[in-house]
Amino acid sequence: MHSTSRFIAAALLLAACLSPAAATAQQNYPNKVVRYIITDAAGAGTDVLGRIIAEGLTNLYGQQVIVENKPGAGGNLGADIAAHSPADGYTMLQIATTHAVNATLYKTLGYDLVRDFIPIAQIASGPSIMVVPASSPAKSVSEFVKYAKSKAGELTYASAGSGTCSFLAGELFRRQTGIEMTHIAYKGGPPAVTAVMSGEVSAYFAPLSAVMQQIGQGRLRALGVTSPQRLSFLPEQPTVAESGAPGYQFSCWYGLMVPAKTPPAVVETIHASLLKVLATPAVQKKLTDLGYIAVGDKPEAFAAHIKAQIEAIRPIARDLPQPQ
């Protein structure tokens, strides 16, 4: 059995042994509509992910879990709304790597990612794939690094915007390989994909679902995935590390949180429910088709992950311009 599946199965056994208080909460919660806040626009990859989870919770609860898209301010608008919502379990917030970036990038925020929320679990991780124009002379990561060093300062990498996962993946790659490469920020993923296809930029660390069609059509060349191991659903694609950048790995992550002071019994109920949704074969297939890997960890593990991510991102965020 896959390690993720083993963990989810074990966690489900623990969830079955809930305290009497938690059992009571399960009987009474939820008894009205739950809102599921997503900090991206409808149609974005994170929105699709969130709707899969919200649908799964709806089916499990027999009570509507309604997605509310609250884009704006780099994900801070929706997070601020959730932080100041009643701590009763009827407001859930889906967060991502971007929120850890915001915690280090913004001098002032209307919320504190660690203090104002209780982590439920990491929902999924999303490795990226390094792509270059089909006309690029590089056919592997090692060739790309060699080419970049021969053209010092001439190569560029695209991102969907400063502070996004595509930026972090590219910047980490630049730093670890020691190459000179200029960051070009675009307003979202689609323009970045177009730019690398046209040869306007030299590389892009893209979400898998955003470029697999173009790779298959020969309009982009894939050099490697950013996960630590090859992906089970894309076994022929090497990792960036094995293709020429030893030790490199990067994945975006996505998780679920609720406002601080939400009753522990309700937190237990939501956590157990999320694990059940993630263990559903249909949900796992949907996530895999989108390039995500289901996680479903414990609240304390997710809390530790968030804190570690904030500290890991801090040195990179220092080099970013302060948002206005």
Residue pLDDT, tens place only, 158-212? 998 888 899 999 999 999 999 999 999 998 888 999 999 999 999 999 999 889 9
DSSP state of 321: P
- Judge whether residue 12 has pLDDT over 80: no
Greater confidence (94 vs 46) lies with: 94
d(CA 139, CA 243): 10
Greater confidence (19 vs 323) lies with: 323
Q: What is the pLDDT of residues 56-72, one digit of tens each?
A: 999 999 999 999 999 98
- Judge whether residue 18 has pLDDT over 80: no
Task: Identify whether the C-beta of residue 225 lies closer than 8 Å to the C-beta of residue 231.
Answer: yes
Average pLDDT over residues 148-163: 93
**Residue whose C-alpha is closest to residue 272's, from 61, 68, 64, 103:** 61
Question: What pLDDT score was predicted for residue 17?
Answer: 53
Provide the b/e sequence for 128-158 (b: ≥16 CB within 10 Å). Answer: bbbbbbeebebebbbbbbebbeeeeeebbbb
d(CA 27, CA 22): 9
Is the pTM here over 0.75, yes or no? yes
Confidence of residue 43 (pLDDT cuts 50, 70, 90): confident
- Judge whether residue 316 has pLDDT over 50: yes
Question: What pLDDT score was predicted for residue 184?
Answer: 95
Q: What is the pLDDT of residues 124-141, one digit of tens each?
A: 999 999 999 999 999 999
- Judge whether residue 146 has pLDDT over 80: yes
d(CA 220, CA 242): 20
Of all residues in the chain, the percent with pLDDT exceeding 70 is 91
Task: Identify whether the C-beta of residue 49 lies closer than 8 Å to the C-beta of residue 209.
Answer: no
d(CA 68, CA 179): 42
d(CA 52, CA 11): 21
d(CA 171, CA 220): 21
Helices (H), the chain: 3-15, 20-28, 45-61, 76-83, 97-105, 141-150, 165-177, 189-198, 208-216, 240-243, 264-278, 281-289, 299-317
Count of all residues that appear for the chain in the document: 324
User: What structural domains does the chain harbor?
Assistant: 3-125+252-317 (3.40.190.150), 126-243 (3.40.190.10)
Average pLDDT over residues 217-246: 96
Task: Identify whether the C-beta of residue 312 lies closer than 8 Å to the C-beta of residue 136.
Answer: no
Task: Identify whether the C-beta of residue 259 lies closer than 8 Å to the C-beta of residue 118.
Answer: yes
Task: Identify whether the C-beta of residue 125 lies closer than 8 Å to the C-beta of residue 292.
Answer: yes
**Residue whose C-alpha is closest to residue 128's, from 101, 160, 86, 152:** 160
Please give the mean pLDDT across all residues of the chain: 91
d(CA 83, CA 260): 8
Task: Identify whether the C-beta of residue 118 lies closer than 8 Å to the C-beta of residue 269.
Answer: no
Average pLDDT over residues 69-78: 92
Confidence of residue 25 (pLDDT cuts 50, 70, 90): very low
User: At 63, which amino acid appears?
Assistant: Q
Average pLDDT over residues 66-83: 94
- Environment class of residue 307 by beta-carbon count within 10 Å: exposed (0-12), middle (13-18) or buried (19+)? middle
Confidence of residue 2 (pLDDT cuts 50, 70, 90): low
